[in-house]
Chains A and B, each alone.
Chain A
Amino acid sequence: MTGEPLPPIEALETPTVDVEALKTVEPGAGGLVITGRRRRGILRSRSATIGAVIVAIFFVIGCIGLALLTIPGLDASWKDQNLGGALKGPMYDGHILGTDSLGRDLLARVTVGVGVSFFIAFVVTIASLVLGVTVGLIGGYFRGPVDTFFSAMTDVTWGFPVILLAVMFAGMLEPGFATIILAVALLSWAGVARIIRGYALSLREREFVGAAKAIGIPSWKILLVHLLPNVVAPILVLASYYVAVTIVIEAGLSFLGLGVQSPVPSLGAMLSEGRNFIRLSPWQTILPGAVLAIAVLGFNLLGDGLRDLLDPRLSRPQG
């Protein structure tokens, strides 16, 4: 290691440069501290835009997928088998994205898979947010025994690996939409509750809450009118992240065969099925894998962007 001084460290910059002196530097002269940060800000908001575009595209695909899944008569598109034309690559005989091991159209199956994935992710996220925000706000606002009870519940729930419970549920109940949603939502609210409780704790000390209390506004109204609007920012950020996490969990469960059951296509199951033919024809694995990865990336980018914009203190949840 050479003896050169430490690399540019703000440790040495901040105290050595008199703050007062810096404040009076002309704006045109360029700030000492700001330059790096400004550039990164633009970079981040660009990633948020990319994320938003990906999410929007997938949202449309997902809606089409759900239509294909639910509207009677359209199911032929993803159900019809043709063993003669199995495991083909893109542009084979009218199948734009090729076919799977049973000769079913991959474009339709991926589209439905996205729909299934999004449907589950959105329902779970909404359920987790409703439950988590309720528990977090009430616990943080009222404190006392209510809070102790809610916090203990949150802690216990939070310590449970989501996938573990989902696997157990899938085993005990019938695997399928409802089981996944129930299992994941039953656990992931806890992460929301922890964060929202933190907000409620600090919000209850603010003047407007004190003022509202003083003029006799009932607690439920304070919660709804004064606290809830102030946690909208973290809720939006958390929503993006939770959709991403839930998509991964859903695909993981389907991958294990404990998710949505055949013949309804899901990205995880398609991956797992494609894996059996991976030497023969890797395309059937690459396609759902790529779709999944891009969708998750989209929500993560959107979450990162929203977080930097709205509330940099939040951290990303993990499965």
Chain B
Amino acid sequence: MIRYVIRRLAYTVVILFVASIVVFLALRITPGDATNFVVTPISSPERFEELRRELGLDRPLIEQYGVFITRILTGNFGASDISHREVAEIITTGLPYTVWLALSAALLVYGLGIPLGVIAALRRDRWPDQVISASAVLGLGIPNFVLAIILIMIFAIGLNLLPVSGASGPMNVILPAIVLAVEPLAVVMRVVRSSVIDQLGQDYVRTLEAKGLARRRIIWVHVLRNSLGPVISLAAVQFRSMLGYTLIVEVIFRWPGLGSQLVDAVLKRDYLVAQDLALLLTAVVIVLNTLADIGQAYADPRVRVQVTNA
């Protein structure tokens, strides 16, 4: 198991390295370079050259990458040329909001998705299952910014129950969290449902009954534990997709997290900030993926054996 974790961590470092190169190069494939965005057409050629030197763009790519990665690794992010804000400051103000939103959404996804999936499986083909499964189809079908607008119309404008946007109070997180959670929630419900149905068909369930265990314990301890493998392995995809949608959801609800900061930076052509935020968010996804993989190995001792021997 430890060998597996070490190998998986080493792989993560490699992927992080590749990701940093991708983010780095993504900016260099642009026609011209970053100076395009900073230097206005009326700037003199002297100013242009000066800026290239300032930004280190006249040096070889390798060297530029070295500067870039050192900056990131030492946490010495520097300041934006456009907004003149420290990147570190942008991150420290935005991160708590993004984490807050993400945790609220995750709470909804797993806190609701797992029990609802189990209930649908136990009441298979009866009304609880039909209601839950139909909602899952709807939840998968609706694009989340469309859902966002519908929810704003109903709860914020129509019923005036919740704030439309901003982050002024604890109520503000409710709508964006719901919007972010709906698609992964639908997926989790479906996966848990079919996984539990599958597990209920296993021999060990009969043994547990023959041992005289309470039904509650059989389902919520044994069957559930065995059903979580697919959920955990799915978590990686879900983190990735939720993180992407965070950008949109944060903008819609004017939520001051990293996602809206990134979109803002991109729209303002603030390339230094955009690059750092993009790398940070990508790194978060990659690290969470790793954790999900390791978690899956822990959850299922049989998978553990397979991956170790692989």
Residues of A within 8 A of B (CB): 1, 6-12, 14-15, 36, 152, 155-156, 158-165, 167-173, 247-248, 251-252, 255-258, 268, 271, 275, 278-279, 282, 285, 289-290, 292-293, 296-297, 300-301, 316-319
Instruction: Tell me if B206 and A15 are in contact (CB < 8 A).
Output: yes
Min CB distance, A101 to chain B, in Å? 16
CA distance A159 to B141 in the complex (A): 23
B263: nearest chain-A partner, CB-CB: A256
Residues in A whose Cβ lies below 8 Å from that of B271:
171-172
Indicate which residue in B26, B27, B285 contacts A161 across the interface (CB closer than 8 Å): B285
Instruction: Tell me if A163 and B266 are in contact (CB < 8 A).
Output: no
**Which one, B86-94, B243-251, B295-303, is touching chain A?**
B243-251
CA distance A318 to B152 in the complex (A): 24
Residues in A whose Cβ lies below 8 Å from that of B236:
159
CA distance A248 to B248 in the complex (A): 11
Residue of B22, B27, B157 most packed against chain A (CB within 10 A): B22
Residues in B whose Cβ lies below 8 Å from that of A167:
247, 262-263, 266, 278
CA distance A27 to B75 in the complex (A): 71
**Nearest 9 interchain pairs by C-beta:** A171-B266, A163-B244, A161-B244, A318-B241, A297-B141, A289-B146, A10-B201, A11-B205, A9-B200
Residues in A whose Cβ lies below 8 Å from that of B203:
11, 15
Min CB distance, B161 to chain A, in Å? 15
Instruction: Tell me if A156 and B200 are in contact (CB < 8 A).
Output: no
Indicate which residue in A155, A172, A271, A289 contacts B26 across the interface (CB closer than 8 Å): A172
Residues in A whose Cβ lies below 8 Å from that of B146:
271, 289-290, 292-293
Min CB distance, B137 to chain A, in Å? 8
* Chain B 61-102 per-residue mask, 1 if CB under 8 angstroms from chain A, else 0: 000000000000000000000000000000000000000000
Give 9 A-B pairs besides A160-B282, A168-B266 with Cβ atoms closer than 8 angstroms.
Answer: A7-B124, A10-B200, A171-B267, A252-B245, A255-B251, A256-B247, A257-B267, A285-B149, A297-B142
> Is B187 part of the binding interface, using a Cβ–Cβ cutoff of 8 Å?
yes
Instruction: Tell me if A278 and B200 are in contact (CB < 8 A).
Output: no
Residues in A whose Cβ lies below 8 Å from that of B15:
155-156, 159
Residues of B within 8 A of A (CB): 14-15, 18-19, 22-23, 26-27, 29-31, 122-125, 140-146, 149-150, 152-153, 157, 183-184, 187, 197, 200-203, 205-206, 209, 214-216, 218, 236-238, 240-241, 243-245, 247-248, 251-252, 262-263, 265-267, 269, 271, 274-275, 278, 281-282, 285-286, 289
CA distance A251 to B23 in the complex (A): 24
B21: nearest chain-A partner, CB-CB: A156
Instruction: Tell me if B278 and A168 are in contact (CB < 8 A).
Output: yes
A165: nearest chain-B partner, CB-CB: B26
A255: nearest chain-B partner, CB-CB: B145
Instruction: Tell me if B145 and A252 are in contact (CB < 8 A).
Output: yes
Residues in B whose Cβ lies below 8 Å from that of A293:
141-143, 146
Query: What are 25 A-B contacts defined by CB distance under 8 Å?
Result: A6-B200, A6-B215, A152-B14, A156-B15, A159-B236, A159-B282, A159-B286, A159-B289, A160-B19, A163-B244, A164-B243, A165-B278, A167-B263, A167-B266, A168-B23, A171-B269, A173-B31, A247-B143, A257-B267, A282-B153, A289-B149, A292-B143, A293-B141, A300-B141, A301-B141
B230: nearest chain-A partner, CB-CB: A315
Min CB distance, A138 to chain B, in Å? 20
CA distance A173 to B266 in the complex (A): 11
